[in-house]
Amino acid sequence: MEMERKIGGFYGLDLYSLWESMETIIQYLKKIDPNAIKNAFEVYKCFEPYGKDVESYARATAFVPENCEGEVIEMLTSLRSKMDVYSKRDHGNREEEYFNAEQNAITAKNAELYYRTMIRGNVNSWNIRDTHMMETRSINNIS
């Protein structure tokens, strides 16, 4: 007899949620590792001058070579370096919470690249978006 499988969750994030993804990571760190909040704020401080306006950020990167790429990569790297600690924090199973935070860190990294590429009129921006959709999709099966 074949065992019936139920889907516990279906996940996928689009690139248009740059600031929402950063906020999700900050909220996660407040809960799981308050000591890491200061670092997260420093990482995302790079985006502050743009007032949550992705087009302003994208336009600025078209004229000035400075961007926030390094900062979003740093946040993703920092999260991944603490994966084992965060996913098992407080002797509980926090894997889904960690997974959500990591997916949002990937979204922030990819969104930054997408907007920087898009403003230049580069058709590769759609490839970035499609690749991102595949990178962040996941199905969580419950048996």
Does residue 1 lie within any of the structural domains?
no
Answer yes or no: is 98 within a domain. yes
In a domain, residue 8? The reply is no
Q: Residues with Cβ < 8 Å from 62, sequence gap 6 or more?
A: 119, 120
Is pLDDT at 121 greater than 70 in this prediction? yes
Domain count, the chain: 1
- Please tell me whether the overall predicted TM-score, pTM, comes out greater than 0.85 for this model: no
**Residue 8 pLDDT:** 55
pLDDT tens by residue, 36-64: 988 888 888 999 999 888 889 988 988 87
Quote the domain boundaries for residue 21: 13-138
Residue 26 within any structural domain of the chain: yes
At which residue do the structure tokens 């200061």 appear?
Answer: 38
pLDDT tens digits, 93-109: 688 889 889 999 999 99
Whether 115 maps to a domain, the answer reads: yes
**Opening angle at CA 124, ends 121 and 128, nearest 5:** 120
- Asked whether residue 33 is domain-assigned, the answer is yes
pLDDT digits (tens, 9 = 90+) for 132-141: 777 776 655 4
